[in-house]
């Protein structure tokens, strides 16, 4: 009987430890996540029942959200803490010392087209803020090569074109080459 209680207690401690680790890892990830267009945010203002949202606001293409009283607030490229500060600043005209919390309710998506020397060319939905390596991975990776890695040409929706050395990115680890992709980007591996 005592053995069973000890085993049960040990199991509960192990499960509790794993849960605490998972929660702290998720919190650390959200602390560094930058808000992107298309993300849905859960916004709460302490003590303001009239402020409750019927649905989470979506970050618009210009990087703003629209909230009661605050109006349009720029939140793109901010962390959740940074967005909370911006919203609180906008609310100070109407609420004395607003305490705002922001969380990511749902991450937005960017549809990108991946073509060329990849295993499965096609259109892929990446999480907002997705990068070139995410698009290549979604397309099944690169086709086998003899020698150096190929180049990738990234065409953006605004017409800008970026040429990336996959040798520098994948072999040498130069993360500056791992460009962020936005809605409508086209990746061509050559």
pLDDT digits (tens, 9 = 90+) for 121-180: 999 999 988 999 999 999 999 999 878 889 999 999 889 999 999 999 998 999 999 999
Q: Residues near 132 by Cβ (< 8 Å), separated by ≥ 6?
A: 152, 154, 164, 169, 177, 178, 179, 181, 187
Is residue 87 within a helix (H) or strand (E), and if so which, with residue range? helix 80-91
- At residue 30, the pLDDT reads 57
- What is the model's pLDDT at position 11? 40
Q: Is 116 found in the same domain as 185?
A: yes
Q: Is the pLDDT of residue 17 over 50?
A: no
Does 24 reside within a domain? no
Whole-number pLDDT of residue 13: 39
**Residue 79: how many other CB atoms lie within 10 Å:** 16
E strand or H helix at 81: helix 80-91
pLDDT in tens, 68-118: 889 999 999 999 999 999 999 999 999 999 999 999 999 999 999 999 999
Domain co-membership, 84 together with 131: no
Query: pLDDT tens digits, residue range 166-187?
Result: 999 998 999 999 999 988 999 9
β-pair partners for 152: 164, 189
Across residues 45-52, what is the average pLDDT? 79
Q: Is the pLDDT of residue 21 over 50?
A: no
Q: Are residues 151 and 177 in the same domain?
A: yes
Rounded distance between C-alpha atoms, residue 100 and residue 69, angstroms: 13
CA distance to 22, 61, 121, 181, 186, per residue, from 135 (Å): 27, 21, 10, 8, 10
CATH of the domain at 160: 3.10.560.10
pLDDT at residue 87, as a whole number? 97
Supply the range of the domain harboring residue 71.
40-106
Asked if residue 167 and residue 133 are part of one domain, the reply reads yes
Q: If you average pLDDT over every residue of the chain, what do you get?
A: 84
Classify residue 102: in a domain, yes or no. Answer: yes
Are the C-beta atoms of residues 159 and 137 closer than 8 Å to each other? no
- Given this model, what pLDDT does residue 149 score? 87
Radius of gyration, alpha carbons of the chain: 22
Same domain, 127 and 174: yes
Distance CA 162, CA 127 (A): 20
Total number of domains in the chain: 2
| Contact indicator for 136, 142 with CB cutoff of 8 Å | yes
Residues 88 and 118 in one domain: no
Give the pLDDT confidence score for residue 1 in this predicted structure.
Answer: 54
In this structure, is residue 117 part of a structural domain?
yes
CA distance 107 to 38: 7
- The model's pLDDT over 50-62, given as tens digits with 9 standing for 90+, comes to 667 668 999 998 9
167: tokens are 């040798």
113, 116, 110: which is closest to 188 by C-alpha?
116
pLDDT tens-digit readout, 29-43: 456 789 998 999 999
Q: Is residue 34 part of a domain?
A: no
DSSP class of 56: P
Residue 21: inside a domain, yes or no? Answer: no
């Amino acid at each position: 009987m005592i053995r069973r209680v000890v085993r049960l207690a040990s199991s509960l401690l192990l499960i509790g430890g794993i849960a605490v680790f998972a929660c702290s890892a998720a919190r650390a990830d959200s602390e560094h996540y930058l808000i992107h267009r298309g993300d849905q945010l859960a916004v709460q203002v302490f003590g303001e029942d009239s402020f409750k949202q019927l649905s989470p606001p979506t970050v618009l293409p210009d990087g703003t959200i629209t909230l009661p009283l605050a109006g349009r607030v720029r939140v793109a490229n901010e962390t959740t803490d940074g967005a909370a500060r911006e919203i609180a600043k906008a609310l100070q005209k109407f609420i004395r010392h607003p305490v705002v919390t922001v969380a990511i309710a749902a991450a937005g998506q960017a549809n990108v087209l991946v073509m060329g020397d990849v295993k499965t060319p096609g259109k892929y939905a990446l999480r907002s803020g997705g990068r070139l390596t995410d698009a290549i991975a979604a397309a099944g990776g690169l086709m086998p090569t003899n020698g150096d890695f190929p180049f990738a040409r990234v065409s953006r929706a605004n017409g800008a074109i970026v040429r990336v050395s996959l040798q520098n990115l994948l072999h040498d680890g130069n993360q500056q080459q791992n460009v962020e992709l936005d809605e409508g980007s086209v990746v061509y591996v050559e």
